[in-house]
Amino acid sequence: MLKGNVPAVVSIVVSPYPIASTLPLDVTQFRTRVADSIQKWNSLAGASIHITSQNQGFLVHQSIPTSKIAYSLRYGNFGIDLVNGETFIEAAAGPRTVTRILGITYTGVPHSSLIEGDYTDVVTLAISAN
């Protein structure tokens, strides 16, 4: 008997756009493309993509955590629960390569109403085979 085995392989690459690190906080954004997420899998049952926000959907001042700006993020056509994190099921059998756009929405705040400095959040995307 001859036999070979192919293990489950998954990968995710997030490619940010320049605006992701230079958000104009005083200008309202609506689904502005901040990154592309490219997922690959070869599993029969598809893959799960888990998305979390370190600051639960807020851009937080670098040293004054009470100074923050609420935002929402979309994964393709889907809103993301940034408070609790959210898992998206890609049920199609592999091998597959899927690209999803990450788009940010927030209401701009005049600079005179914010403390000077950087406002940040870290969004993490992870993939696993179903």
> Is there a domain that residue 49 lies in?
yes
**Where residue 82 sits, what CATH number does that domain have?**
2.60.40
> Is there a domain that residue 43 lies in?
yes
Number of H helices, E strands in the chain: 0, 11
> Is there a domain that residue 66 lies in?
yes
pLDDT of residue 46: 95
For residue 43, give the amino acid letter: S
pLDDT of residue 76: 95
> Is there a domain that residue 13 lies in?
no
Residues in the chain with pLDDT < 70?
none
pLDDT of residue 61: 98
For residue 29, give its domain range: 25-129
> Is there a domain that residue 5 lies in?
no
3-state secondary structure of 18: helix
78-83 contacts at long range (C-beta below 8 A, 24 or more positions apart) = 80/51, 80/53, 82/51, 82/52, 82/53, 82/56, 82/57, 82/123, 83/53, 83/56, 83/57
Residue pLDDT, tens place only, 63-85: 999 999 999 999 999 999 999 99
pLDDT of residue 62: 95
Please state the domain count of the chain. Answer: 1
> Is there a domain that residue 29 lies in?
yes
Q: Is 112 buried (19+), middle (13-18) or exposed (0-12) by CB count in 10 A?
A: exposed
Residue 55 CB neighbour total at 10 angstroms: 17
pLDDT of residue 64: 96
